[in-house]
Amino acid sequence: MSQTASNWQVRRVMRDELVCWQLQTEQASVLIAEQGAQVLEFQLKNQQPIVWLSEQAQYQKGQPVRGGIPLCWPWFGDLKRNPITVQSMHQQADLAPFHGAARNLDWQLDEISHTTDQPSLTLLLSEPVIADWPHPVSVRCTFSLKQDRLTLTLSTHNHSNKTLHLSQALHTYLAISDIQRVQVEGLAGCRYIETLENWQERQQEGLLSFQGETDRIYQDVPPVIRLLDFGWQRQLCLKAERSKSAVVWNPWANKARRLSQFAEHAWQHMLCIETANVWDDCIQLPAGQQAQLTLSLWSEPLS
């Protein structure tokens, strides 16, 4: 199945066991797996990939692919580390899978649409069955490619008669030249939780550089965060809507050895900057209402 015009195309493709959709414009292409509504690739013509994907990635039913943009929903990370309101949505929080359920579920094609040069694709979880999380919701993820910019919107509709409490994140793996030749701009002055040192609260001073494993939950973040890559002379720009928190993660060498689908030196060439609603920024979703989390991602030359 496909739809084509002079300057864009949407087509269904297989990647081993996974049904995927490819969106293409004259400048860029995106590959999205129906499983988990997971972006696997985002590539501009004649440039390094924007999104990192493991060279050991496995495209199998029932397991997330390492890399791309996994969706963490309806909770982020370890559920037991979430606010009690988010934990209380689950009947057995100590058995809850890491990063929620969305990334392991099969989404369905809801809609393919386009404006003149911008193809869009929406995937839908109409009535997700999530073990020990018995709340009627529907979830949509819309992916739009406008020239060389990818926009992703995750939308949760609460069909229940009570308020739901969620945490969520767009777990974006970014492709970089070398973790020791990049810096993150935009977090100066922001509070953050240092998860590697007993979840203490700290404050970011200036640009963020990397000298070891990094796993931080930033709060009160600005709408735009930039990843400055001095090796590839580019900056990756992440613009968030309805998000005031972001997670920055690099496993470094030791943790990388414990990760699935992760080559020994891959940690040097990736960095996660995750557009989120976590910690103080969790979602309180009243009955019948919708919550949307949006990321726009693009590349610019280093100014």
Q: Which residues lie near ligand TA6 (CB under 6 A)? A: 77, 98-99, 171, 215, 247, 249, 259, 272, 274
Max CA pair span of the chain = 54
Minimum gap (Å) between residue 195 Cβ and ligand TA6: 7
Comparison of 121 and 276: residue with beta carbon closer to ligand TA6: 276
Comparison of 148 and 274: residue with beta carbon closer to ligand TA6: 274
What the block records as the tokens of 142 is: 């819309």
Whole-number Å distance between alpha carbons of 55 and 65: 11
Minimum gap (Å) between residue 183 Cβ and ligand TA6: 19
Comparison of 242 and 255: residue with beta carbon closer to ligand TA6: 255
Going 192 to 197 to 198 to 202, the CA torsion angle's sign is: negative
Q: Is 19 exposed, middle or buried (0-12, 13-18, 19+ CB in 10 A)?
A: middle
- In degrees, rounded to 5, the angle at the alpha carbon of residue 19 between the alpha carbons of residues 136 and 297 is 75
Residue in the shown chain whose Cβ atom is closest to ligand TA6: 249
Instruction: Give the start-end residues of each E strand in 167-280.
Output: 168-170, 173-175, 182-185, 191-194, 200-203, 214-219, 224-229, 234-241, 245-250, 270-277
Minimum gap (Å) between residue 285 Cβ and ligand TA6: 22
- Measured in residues, the chain has a length of 303
Whole-number Å distance between alpha carbons of 121 and 7: 16
Q: Say which amino acid occupies 184.
A: V
Minimum gap (Å) between residue 282 Cβ and ligand TA6: 15
- In degrees, rounded to 5, the angle at the alpha carbon of residue 36 between the alpha carbons of residues 101 and 158 is 55
What the block records as the tokens of 138 is: 């529907």
What the block records as the tokens of 70 is: 């996994």
Minimum gap (Å) between residue 182 Cβ and ligand TA6: 17
Comparison of 167 and 299: residue with beta carbon closer to ligand TA6: 167
Comparison of 98 and 199: residue with beta carbon closer to ligand TA6: 98
Minimum gap (Å) between residue 99 Cβ and ligand TA6: 5
Comparison of 141 and 247: residue with beta carbon closer to ligand TA6: 247
Comparison of 57 and 259: residue with beta carbon closer to ligand TA6: 259
Minimum gap (Å) between residue 15 Cβ and ligand TA6: 18
